[in-house]
Chain A
Amino acid sequence: MEKVLTGNQSVSWGAMRARAQVIAAYPITPQTTIIEELASLVSDGKLDARFIKVESEHSALAACIGAEQAGARSFTATSAQGLALMHELIHWASLARLPIVMADVNRAMAPGWTIWTDQNDSLSERDTGWLQFYCESNQEVLDTVLLAYKIGERIKLPVMLILDAFFLSHTAEAVNIPEPEEADAFLPPYEGDLIVDVENPRAFGGMAGVDYYQEFRYMQQEAMLEGLKVVEEVGKEFGERFGRHYGLIEPYRCEDAEAIIVTSGTVTSTARDVIDEWRDRGESVGLLKMRTLRPFPIDLVRETLRGVPKVGVIDRNICPGFGGIWAQEIKAAMYDVDQADRPDIYGFIAGLGGRDVTPITVNEVLEKTLHPEKIEKHLNWIALKA
């Protein structure tokens, strides 16, 4: 079935097709239309789920933790301040190994108050043990909800899917919605094995002394590494069933590239058009779309960028005191590549607080990456007002 859906509706329809059983959420712009749609779907009986209308995002995630620990597939969604308020429990969900799925509509952190997009909210949760997928289109958003449950439930880790405020969340496009039976065949009901069971009483999350804690962390890391394989496997299965393929990264026209730019989220679509223009003019430039932040696909990134002379990373985020966060990740991944094959990597900050990233922005990044004589290697601000 094809329908015109906004990014937020795509999230809701994804959660419905995934047959989420317990939903807990608190409203925050620009996430609100996700939960409004879900409230309608539950109210109309189209989705057989409990919707707990909690008093805070902190409680939203806590409710999902309780529900998931008791064996129900759970879902929540938030943005910015709401995600930050959840932070304690974002760690908790992963260490408790609960495959909760959450949508984060990227919104810049306050102050000043803003509802427009950038990635600092989700990137601040990088080290919490959640898988993170950055989506580019509404179709990818809907599909990623289904993928997220299947991947997360296999490796017992929570998954965050991320979409840009307004550029995706409130923009409508045609989306192919899998039929319920197709979605069910891909994603069967959740069968948790380490869940609350009165016939076999266990304590979950009790005191872990120095004899155990480090091993919990080791197992979490191993699950993430397993995730690298599972993301690809599940993506392949999804592709076979639905004809749409999703992996960890998406290289685009990278063959023999003189320069590659690295993007995530909706900036990718803009960059793809720009790359096409440059390629049509005979320029050897390519694009690397980072779909996955964690687990970080180190090997695939190395494979794609090894031997490429110049790489420009567009960061719609800033780690104050260091620079762009994706650039930092890419540089860390490339450190172990032989020096002769290691690209020069240039960092660009653009589009913070929802400022438009247009073809002009991407052109500037490409020009500067190809002709870096006048720029800083580490950190360059694009369209910064004097």
Chain B
Amino acid sequence: MSDKVPGQITYDIAEREIMSSGHLACPGCGATLSMRLALKVLGPRTVLCIPACCWAVIDGPFPYSSVGVPLVHCAFETAAITATGVRHALDVRGQKDITVVAWAGDGGTFDIGFGALSAAAERNENILYICYDNEAYMNTGIQRSSATPVGAWTTTTPAEHPKEEPKKNLVEILGSHRIPYAATATVAYPDDLNRKLEKAKNMTGMRLLHIFSPCPPGHKSLESDSIKISRLAVETKVFPLYEIENGTKFTLNRESAGVPVTEYTKLQGRFKHLTEAELKQMQERVDYEWDILMKRIAVFA
């Protein structure tokens, strides 16, 4: 990493491309950019375990594959445990240097795969779990998941009755398992993502990376706005960039930019039904959650 001057953008992104073109992603897909960036850091000695999710499709149909590393497709609820099985087998076979990654969407992580994820975390399995979070079941046509934010439209939470429950806090829950590392990241901050991947790659035990991934068809946003939405998610405090080491040491990676939540919501059709009062409530909730996070950081600093 080069010396940083405050305010100056100096991204250190590896030139190498492990992933190839020809994949089946939608234009503007944050999950695909996440994979491209992740593989640059993780390198060719990586095995991916991918359950049912957008990425089960994006990689390409048999006999094609675009990721450039071995990819074990697995059942919806089994990303963490399949990766665990691969990890133990590679260890037994003397291939301990290979990074084993479970790469799953929010449905496979927050919902159906949560039991296996929690169990792998409890056993502190030596895997890197990456959740690319597009905040709903996008692959099956935008149904709500427990990662869908409160107020959002999905095909199972119509605009007349949008999602009433707040999003599950994945990173805090995984942190409570006292795993070595849990962190958030998003594609608008590739330097931060890079650093976290590098850090996670070089640790042993269970590591979790939660990547917020804009989804133009699911969020009803412009393909050209994906990076902007990713950045605004952080600047509005909707998706703070932070990390938790050993479950207790919280570190904030990006200060609040103080941008109002409406700057984030107005770019996404999934929030367009919200009234001024509801948007105000959303702002209050975001501020409240941010305050809690600041307190945690302060307590364990």
Main SS class of interface, B: mixed
CB distance A63 to B82 under 8 Å?
Answer: yes
Question: What's the minimum C-beta distance from A200 to chain B, rounded to whole angstroms?
Answer: 8
A70 CB contacts on chain B under 8 angstroms: 47, 72, 85-86, 89-90, 93
Q: How many residues of A contact B (CB 8 A)?
A: 40
CA separation between A50 and B65, bound complex, in Å?
31
Question: When the two chains form their complex, are residues A24 and B85 in contact, meaning their CB atoms are under 8 A apart?
Answer: yes
**Interface-side segment among B29-37, B53-61, B152-160, B196-204:** B53-61
User: B81 and A201: CB pair below 8 A?
Assistant: no
Within 8 A of B (CB), among A264-319: none
A52/B56 contact (C-beta < 8 A), A198-B45, A203-B73, A206-B73 known: no
Indicate whether A69 reaches chain B with its CB closer than 8 angstroms: yes
Q: A59-B119, A66-B81 are in contact. Are A205 and B72 (CB under 8 A)?
A: yes
Most buried by A among B82, B90, B115, B116: B82
What 9 A-B pairs come out closest when comparing CB atoms?
Answer: A66-B85, A72-B89, A70-B89, A55-B119, A205-B73, A203-B65, A63-B85, A62-B78, A66-B82
Q: Do A64 and B62 contact each other (CB < 8 Å), given the known contacts A50-B92, A89-B78, A198-B44?
A: no
Q: Check A69/B81 contact, CB under 8 A, given A22-B88, A56-B115, A207-B57.
A: no
Nearest CB to that of B119 among chain A residues? Answer: A55
* Chain A nearest CB, measured from B217 CB (Å): 19
Q: Please name 21 pairs of A and B residues whose Cβ atoms are closer than 8 Å in the assembled complex, sorted by A.
A: A49-B92, A50-B91, A56-B116, A59-B78, A59-B115, A67-B86, A69-B72, A69-B85, A70-B85, A74-B85, A198-B47, A198-B69, A198-B70, A203-B70, A203-B71, A204-B72, A205-B73, A206-B60, A207-B60, A208-B61, A212-B62
Q: Assess whether B73 is in contact with A63, with CB atoms less than 8 Å apart.
A: no
A92 within 8 A of partner (CB): yes
Judge whether A198 and B86 touch: CB under 8 Å. no
How does the 8 Å CB contact mask read for B101-127 relative to A, with 1 for contact and 0 for none? 000000000000001101100110000
A88 beta carbon closer than 8 Å to chain B: yes
The answer to whether B46 touches A198 (Cβ under 8 A) is yes
Q: How far is the CA of A24 from the CA of B92 in the complex (A)?
A: 14
> Is B38 in contact with chain A by the CB < 8 A criterion?
no
Asked if A182 is an interface residue, CB under 8 A from chain B, the answer is no
B65 contacts which of A49, A71, A206 (Cβ < 8 Å)?
A206
Taking beta carbons and an 8 Å cutoff, which residues of B are in contact with A?
44-47, 49, 56-57, 59-62, 64-65, 67-75, 77-78, 81-93, 95, 98, 115-116, 118-119, 122-123
Query: Given the interface contacts A203-B73, A206-B73, does A69 sit within 8 Å of B86 by beta carbon?
Result: yes
Q: Give the Cβ gap from A6 to chain B, nearest Cβ, in Å.
A: 28
Q: Quick one: CB contact mask for A164-203 with B, threshold 8 Å, 1 for yes?
A: 0000000000000000000000000000000011100111
**Cβ contacts under 8 Å, B81 to chain A:** 54, 59, 62-63, 66
Say whether A104 faces chain B, with CB atoms less than 8 Å apart. no
- In the complex, per-residue mask of A69-98: 1 if CB is within 8 Å of any chain B CB, else 0: 111101000000000000011001000000
Chain A hits for B61, CB < 8 A: 206-209
Q: A59-B115, A66-B85, A208-B62 are in contact. List 17 more A-B contacts (CB 8 A).
A: A24-B85, A55-B116, A62-B116, A63-B81, A63-B85, A68-B89, A69-B82, A72-B88, A72-B93, A196-B47, A198-B69, A201-B67, A201-B70, A203-B64, A207-B57, A207-B61, A208-B61
